[in-house]
């Protein structure tokens, strides 16, 4: 079976959802080609490519001629020609609002090639972006949602958003979670920037207001009183960096909060997760939360807000704790509660690793997509 995965951006160095899906399907014998623009998403601009993009990949990657990229929506008209001449048995479209997916869908419709539309959307963006997206939702996005052969959501929250806000009929969407490579992300030791602290707390995120990092910083004021040796490591870069650093300075938390802004490739992250005592994801809104899965696979208990995909991945009070978003008090209470019993933290981490392997390992997730592909191609 020959399959194309259409995505606006693709950087193997980042190894996100599309990488895991392409690699997982390839391991199952599917001939996979990733089709993308020549641009980079914001998180991909924070890192650099690690050598030849096709080096040691099990699948092909084609970067198509891109006319322009406005507001993280690249215009790639050559996708139509690629789909039209590519002889693909099926095409996977990653998101409904991207022009590259609209154009790919039109080409598949003309060729009568079956398609799977996947979505991670769990909220409307703010400001002008919401207005533009609303116009798309009423026209091009609706066309793709209605016409795709099959429709999947990355988590239950994305399915609920599509049904409630986008009026997608109940029963139309199947939830297939995002996976994690548990052969890469596993308990490991090695060089790490997490050097200090009797209680090392880690969060990995783009420094953006949506990530709720200001609430986590405020929570550290209380955590510090209960656990004087606790240190929070915030790993990432982004537009909110200046505001977050100013907040740390204002609250006199420089000894308890450290920023790690040097990019670390995925294959070097397991020792980083491994050196932490617990992982915290304080997002206000979150499409999925892949770093949570990576930390779980590395055997770490997690404290996460009850939003997005984290409601699917975290087993509350078994592999970690789920708390109310935008609530520093809830975050500090959870951190203090969990850190009181290190033996239970280790047990939680072991259960987190077990859950990641059983339910979210990429071979498991890719197997679900393979079954769906087999079904729509037969039809």
What's the pLDDT band for 43 if we cut at 50, 70, 90?
A: low
Q: How many CB atoms lie within 10 A of CB 191?
A: 9
Which helix (H) or strand (E) segment is 291 a member of? helix 290-297
Q: Are residues 352 and 365 in the same domain?
A: no
The answer as to whether 190 is a domain residue is: no
Helical H segments across 67-139, by residue range: 78-85, 99-111, 128-138
If asked whether residues 211 and 280 sit together in one domain, one would say yes
- pLDDT one-digit tens code per residue, 11-31: 887 778 999 999 999 999 999
Same-domain pairing of 168 and 50 = yes
128 and 166 housed in the same domain: yes
Contact 231, 200 (CB under 8 A): yes
φ/ψ (deg, to 5) at 144: -70, -40
Q: What is the mean pLDDT of the chain?
A: 94
Beta bridge partners of 47: none
Mean per-residue pLDDT, 55-66: 91
Q: Could you tell me if residue 207 is inside a domain?
A: yes
Shared domain check, 305 and 253? yes
- Among residues of the chain, what percentage have pLDDT more than 90? 88
State whether 94 and 209 are in the same domain: no
pTM of the entire predicted model: 0.93
Are residues 263 and 156 both part of a single domain? Answer: no
* Cα separation of the two ends of the chain: 14
What is the CATH classification number for the domain harbouring 163?
A: 3.40.50.2000
Domain that holds residue 46: 2-179+361-378
pLDDT digits (tens, 9 = 90+) for 194-242: 999 999 999 999 999 999 999 999 999 999 999 999 999 999 999 999 9
DSSP 280: E
Q: What is the pLDDT of residue 200?
A: 98
My answer on whether 135 and 221 are in the same domain is: no
| Rounded distance between C-alpha atoms, residue 192 and residue 336, angstroms | 24
How many structural domains comprise the chain? 2
Average pLDDT of the residues in 85-91? 95
Say if residue 214 is in the same domain as residue 161.
no
pLDDT of residue 53: 45
Residues 24 and 118 occupy one common structural domain? yes
State the pLDDT at residue 65.
Answer: 94
With tokens 């002008």, the residue in question is 128
Is the pLDDT at 270 greater than 80? The verdict is: yes
Condensed to tens digits (0 to 9), the pLDDT of residues 137-163 reads 999 999 999 999 999 999 999 999 999
pLDDT of res. 263: 85
Q: Is residue 187 part of a domain?
A: no
* Same-domain check for residues 328 and 210: yes
236-252: pLDDT as tens digits = 999 999 999 999 999 99
What's the pLDDT band for 52 if we cut at 50, 70, 90? very low
């Amino acid at each position: 079976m020959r399959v194309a995965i259409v995505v606006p951006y693709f950087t193997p160095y980042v190894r996100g959802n599309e990488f895991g899906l392409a690699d997982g399907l390839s391991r199952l014998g599917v001939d996979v080609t990733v089709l993308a623009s020549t641009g980079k998403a914001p998180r991909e601009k924070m890192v650099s490519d690690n050598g030849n993009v096709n080096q040691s990949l099990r699948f092909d990657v084609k970067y198509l001629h891109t006319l322009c990229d406005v507001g993280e929506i690249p215009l790639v008209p050559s996708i139509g020609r690629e789909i039209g001449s590519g002889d693909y048995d099926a095409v996977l479209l990653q998101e409904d609002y991207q022009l590259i997916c609209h154009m790919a869908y039109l080409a598949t419709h003309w060729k009568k090639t079956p398609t799977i539309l996947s979505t991670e959307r769990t909220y409307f963006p703010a400001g002008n972006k919401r207005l533009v997206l609303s116009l798309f939702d009423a026209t091009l996005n609706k066309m793709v949602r209605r016409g795709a052969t099959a429709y999947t959501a990355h988590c239950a929250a994305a399915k609920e958003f599509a049904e409630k806000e986008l009026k997608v009929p109940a029963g139309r969407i199947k939830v297939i979670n995002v996976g994690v490579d548990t052969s890469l992300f596993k308990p490991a030791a090695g060089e790490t920037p997490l050097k200090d602290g009797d209680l090392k707390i880690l969060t990995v995120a783009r420094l953006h207001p949506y990530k709720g990092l200001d609430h986590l910083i405020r929570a550290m004021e209380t955590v510090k009183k209960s656990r004087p040796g606790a240190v929070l490591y915030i790993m990432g870069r982004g537009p909110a960096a200046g505001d977050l650093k100013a907040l740390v300075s204002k609250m006199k938390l420089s000894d308890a909060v450290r920023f790690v802004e040097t990019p670390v490739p995925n294959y070097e992250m397991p020792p980083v997760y491994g050196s932490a005592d617990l992982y915290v994801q304080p997002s206000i809104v979150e499409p999925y939360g892949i770093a949570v899965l990576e930390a779980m696979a590395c055997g770490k208990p997690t404290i996460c807000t009850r939003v997005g995909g984290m409601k699917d991945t975290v087993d509350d009070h078994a592999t970690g704790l789920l708390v109310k978003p935008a609530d520093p008090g809830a975050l500090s209470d959870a951190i203090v509660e969990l850190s009181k019993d290190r033996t239970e933290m280790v047990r939680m981490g072991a259960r987190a690793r077990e859950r990641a392997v059983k339910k979210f390992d990429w071979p498991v997730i890719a197997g679900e997509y393979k079954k769906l592909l087999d079904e729509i191609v037969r039809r």
